[in-house]
Amino acid sequence: LISWSSQVRLVMKAHSFIRENVPRVLSSVKDKSSTVPIPRLSQYLYFLFAPTLIYRDNYPRNPTIRWGYVATKFAQVLGSLFYAYYIFVRLCIPQFHNSSQETFNLRGLVLCIFNSILPGVLILFLVFFAFLHCWLNAFAEMLRFADRMFYK
């Protein structure tokens, strides 16, 4: 799942990079200008790691990195991982462990599924919080990326 989502993200970033740069290159070739506006490798690498899907040559940048903020966000990611582990151990694994020792019946399957809905929703919220809020904000801070409108 993680590699699939990373591939989708990289394809979206490549599409944005091509969509933003090809018209500029074609217009400079059509105008027969002496310089072709090709982005530098450092701009492309920054775009690959920045938490955005829209390519620009320059992004708004903060003057400094707040390392305490970065440490707090990474601590929140670790806390979310430990909480997800606790949810699995206490709420999910006992349900499926008990059902694996019994013979298959539809009632047991339905009860197992319904007892796993609440832990599944909690895990979904934890993934949202840990990755989309904490992880992206930590990397945005380390890259001094100033535009933090992830949710808009």
As a whole number of angstroms, the distance between CA 75 and CA 69 comes to 10
Per-residue pLDDT for 134 more than 90?
A: yes
Q: Do 139 and 131 form a contact (C-beta atoms < 8 A)?
A: no
As a whole number of angstroms, the distance between CA 131 and CA 123 comes to 12
User: Using one digit for the tens of pLDDT, what is the confidence trace for 12-29?
Assistant: 999 999 999 888 888 888
User: Using one digit for the tens of pLDDT, what is the confidence trace for 23-75?
Assistant: 888 888 887 777 777 888 999 999 988 888 889 988 888 899 999 999 999 99
As a whole number of angstroms, the distance between CA 118 and CA 130 comes to 18
Q: Do 65 and 141 form a contact (C-beta atoms < 8 A)?
A: yes
> What is the 8-class DSSP label of residue 105?
-
Give residue limits of the domains in the chain.
1-59, 61-151
The reported pTM is 0.72
User: Using one digit for the tens of pLDDT, what is the confidence trace for 69-94?
Assistant: 999 999 999 999 999 999 989 988 88
